[in-house]
Amino acid sequence: MITIHVPAMTARQDVRVISARISDIPGVQTLKADLATGTVQVKGSVALAAVTAAVTAAGYAVTSATDDPPASAACHRPWLFGRGDHGRPPRAWVAPTHLRAGRNGPKPARPGEVMTGSPNDLGTHTWVERTGGLLTAAERRSLLRPLASAQVINVVGRLSMLVGVNTGRRAVVPAGRLRPPDSVLTRAAEAEALRRLTPALLNHSYRTFAFGSALGALENLDVDREVLFAAALLHDVGLPTPVEGVDFTRASARVARDVAEDVGLSTAATNTMRTAITLHHSPGVTSAHGPVAYLLSAGAGLDVVGVGSWRLPPGVIDAVIAEHPRLGFKREFAAAFRMEAARVPRGRVAFLRRHGAFDLAVKAAPFRG
Topology adopted by domain 2-87: Alpha-Beta Plaits (3.30.70)
Query: Residue 237 and residue 254: Cα distance in Å, rounded?
Result: 10
**CA-based torsion, 191, 197, 199, 205: positive or negative:** negative
Mean pLDDT (whole number) for 339-356: 95
Lowest mean pLDDT among 111-115, 119-123, 189-193, 194-198: 111-115
Mean pLDDT (whole number) for 282-292: 94
Q: With a cut of 60, say whether residue 119 has pLDDT above it.
A: no
- The crossing angle, in degrees rounded to 10, of helices 199-218 and 184-196 is 140
Mean pLDDT of the chain: 84
pLDDT at 226: 96
Residue 34 host element (H or E): strand 28-34
Lowest mean pLDDT among 9-18, 90-99, 298-307: 90-99
Residue 361 host element (H or E): helix 358-363
**Cross-strand pairs, 64:** 5
pLDDT at 242: 86
Residues of the chain with CATH 3.30.70.100: 2-87
pLDDT at 251: 96
Q: What is the DSSP string of 255-299?
A: HHHHHHHHHT--HHHHHHHHHHHHHTTSTT--GGG-HHHHHHHHH
List, for residues 319-344, the tens digit of each pLDDT value: 999 999 999 999 999 999 999 999 99
Q: With a cut of 90, say whether residue 224 has pLDDT above it.
A: yes
Could you tell me where the DSSP H helices lie in 24-114?
A: 48-57
pTM: 0.69
Return all residues near 140 (Cβ < 8 A) that are at least 6 apart.
351
Mean pLDDT (whole number) for 291-318: 94
Lowest mean pLDDT among 64-68, 212-216, 284-288, 333-337: 64-68
**Cross-strand pairs, 66:** 3
Which of the pair, 289 or 35, is modelled with greater confidence?
289
List, for residues 69-106, the tens digit of each pLDDT value: 644 433 333 333 333 333 333 333 333 333 233 334 45
pLDDT at 88: 36
Lowest mean pLDDT among 50-59, 90-99, 156-165, 353-362: 90-99
List, for residues 32-78, the tens digit of each pLDDT value: 787 778 888 888 888 888 888 888 888 888 888 898 764 443 333 33
Contact 125, 275 (CB under 8 A): yes
pLDDT at 57: 80
Q: With a cut of 70, say whether residue 116 has pLDDT above it.
A: no
List, for residues 230-282, the tens digit of each pLDDT value: 999 999 999 998 889 999 999 999 999 999 999 999 999 999 999 999 999 99
Mean pLDDT (whole number) for 154-178: 85
pLDDT at 165: 81
With a pLDDT cut of 70, the percent of the chain lying above it is 85
Mean pLDDT (whole number) for 12-25: 76
